[in-house]
Structure 1
């Protein structure tokens, strides 16, 4: 008798469960509808803070470059200086390499040319934080007379660089119309060196009267006097 009663109760319970499921009151696992079933937590979205896999904006590698002083898409202004202002001075712009690489070219954003300029002894080079020249171009005077575009200027010998901080050096000599020979700008200004002192300035000049890039520079002599007159925003890149 007990066996029959137990069997009947079991059958009744099963029937009720089936009816409730059909009515939408329970889920297939018999939990009440509207009750959340535990699930694995979704990973938090990556944050684009300069590291990790989050979107970080344009990178030099997106344009087959190794490093740059700023996104060229933002280099919408131009900077100009007179021959008296920068002629014979070594202009230094700090740049950082994040991984070991071989540098073959220094890119310069040329915004405007002076077809009547008389240029000579103009160079680009690369220095380390100790002030030692690591590489340089041949005289780039001819390239500064044609095609106002961003252009790669080859080093005399490619340089294998370790990760770290370097300085791009520009030397101009000759005569040109101040507002004709112009360089692309990153938008920097006199605030670009905020919080910094020599030998770690981002934009600076050293020396005067130079006709070639010296083998060594004393970076403790970095000056901002010319930089603060509007020369603090040239755009460069490495490839």
Structure 2
């Protein structure tokens, strides 16, 4: 769905660019699956990888071209977590500068079963055009294996990007909650091209 501004409001550029981009591509997009944006077509998910318990996984979304209300984070759990630590599993949304913008309630139960997950944030986030990251924190004896398109050298999914702007990265370790800020220059590019989306 494309929302155009009403007569008298500014900034037609972003929604028109969004509309033109959608018309230029015949493949399925996030809107076809009830999402606002995703890292890539979910049909490309072909494998999975288990994040390190307590280490934040950051997944960059494509540039958000118009103001939207983000209410949920989407993931695919290929293999359920084992012995999850209650109160220490979360998903969230961060700015490109590393500021936490929104987060879920504890999602230990969500990670305890496999399948498609659309995990609600505790409050909707009014996003303006810009770049955002999905964050995943799992604490468990064996964290959930998250769906991804590949597991190759970290330079593949992060081609030509510095660590602070990586598409797929690992953040701070030994975390039991999502921190208010993350130092983006401290990210470690990841070989795991984890799939994520927002709704």
TM-score range, shorter chain: 0.7 to 0.9
- Which of the pair has the greater relative contact order for Cα pairs under 8 Å at 6+ separation? 2
Which residue in 2 is equivalent to 1:238? 198
Structure number with greater Rg is 1
Q: TM-score, normalised by structure 2?
A: 0.82
CA distance in structure 1 between the aligned counterparts of 2:22 and 2:106, rounded to whole angstroms: 41
CA distance in structure 2 between the aligned counterparts of 1:137 and 1:54, rounded to whole angstroms: 34
Which residue in 2 is equivalent to 1:184? 147
Per the TM alignment, residue 100 of structure 1 is displaced from its structure 2 partner at its CA by: 1.1
Which residue in 2 is equivalent to 1:174? 140
Structure 1 spans left out of the alignment, 5+ residues: 1-49
Which residue in 2 is equivalent to 1:91? 57
Per the TM alignment, residue 175 of structure 1 is displaced from its structure 2 partner at its CA by: 0.7
4+ aligned runs moved over 4 Å, structure 1: none
Which residue in 2 is equivalent to 1:144? 111
Is 1:79 aligned with 2:20? no
**1:43-75: CA deviation from partner (whole Å, max 9, x where unpaired):** xxxxxxx83733431111111110001111111
Q: How does 1:24-173 map to 2 (within 5 A)?
A: 51=21, 53-81=23-51, 86-96=52-62, 97-114=64-81, 116-120=82-86, 121-146=88-113, 148-173=114-139
Cα–Cα, structure 1 residues 197 and 118, in superposed 2: closer, same or farther, change >3 Å? same
> Which has the larger strand fraction?
2
Cα–Cα, structure 1 residues 207 and 99, in superposed 2: closer, same or farther, change >3 Å? same
Cα–Cα, structure 1 residues 117 and 63, in superposed 2: closer, same or farther, change >3 Å? same
- The answer to whether the Cα contact below 8 Å between 2:84 and 2:112 also exists between their aligned partners in 1 is no
- SS class of match (1:208): coil
CA RMSD, Structure 1 to Structure 2 (Å): 1.8
Is 1:200 aligned with 2:165? yes
Per the TM alignment, residue 173 of structure 1 is displaced from its structure 2 partner at its CA by: 1.0
Structure 2 spans left out of the alignment, 5+ residues: 1-19
